[in-house]
Amino acid sequence: MTATTGMGQPAEPDSAASLVRTWTTGHVRFVSMERPLARNALSNSLKIALVSAIDEYEADDWLRAMVLSGCDCGAFSAGGDLQRVVGRLEQGLPLTDPSVPDLFARLAARSKPIVAAIDGYALGGGFELALACDLRFAAEGSYQIGLPEVNLGLFPGSGGTQRLPRLVGLPKGLDLIANATTMKPADAKAAGLVDQLFPDAAACRAGALAYASKLAEGPTVAIGHAKLAVTQGFGAPLDLGLAIEREAIGRVFASSDAEEGIKAFGEKRKAEFTGE
């Protein structure tokens, strides 16, 4: 059976090995989703490929920042593979396939920063993928960004109900989700869902790469632990958040980067961080 996506496009045959393209520039890993005919809909194979790419990035000490983008197909990701969902429901199976690693949990657990370069439609699970990244850069255009699942009698269950309100506030977040609101990139930036806006897809990817490269030159141990302290402590009781912070401080102060930073400050020179 030929799979289709939420945008009604036929999906090319799934092969996890060919669904993600990666390359490295300096200390930055660039990851491009490569399901153009399916507008990068999140099939199981694409999820597996993305988890593999994220794990490789997290484990490689050379890599210090990552950019995630689409592939010049008019979409960052058009969302979940609805045909797969329908098929599992018809078979009486749970919506989530237990044999597929949880992509969104993997994104939440990593310590290194990821910048999403939204270069086309980012809908449903595709936008939840961007929300699970640390920053969202977007290209200007007439395409849409948002969480339209409620229109299908569903709701965004891959972190969207938790991450989106944290960016725009509770009333606005509930309004956007309950009304299945999608918006153009400029409106998404005005709402706080996009951090930077660029004139086109190429400029967006270049801007994301430049930002990631700047992060990669910095004290990545401190950046990574600060990221985890913020994301894990946000919304938690204050005493728990402070405990998370104290644990992170202990790890950062024990790092070579902290020693180098303090030494460079005393010697009035630029620090040379190694990410260790």
Residues facing residue 118 across a β-bridge: 138
Q: Which residues are catalytic?
A: 128, 149
CA distances from 249 to 38, 164, 266, 270 (A): 44, 28, 20, 22
Secondary structure of the chain as H, E, C letters: CCCECCCCCECCCCCHHHCEEEEEECCEEEEEECCHHHCCCECHHHHHHHHHHHHHHHHCCCCCEEEEECCCCCEEECCECHHHHHHHHHCCCCCCCCCCCCHHHHHHHCCCCEEEEECCEEECHHHHHHHCCCEEEEECCCCCEECCHHHHCCCCCCCHHHHHHHHHCHHHHHHHHHCCCEECHHHHHHHCCCCEEECCHHHHHHHHHHHHHHHHHCCHHHHHHHHHHHHHHCCCCHHHHHHHHHHHHHHHHCCHHHHHHHHHHHCCCCCCCCCC
Q: What amino acid is encoded at 27 in this protein? A: H
Two structure tokens written together for 181: 């609101």
Do residues 163 and 107 lie in contact, with contact meaning Cβ atoms separated by under 8 Å?
no
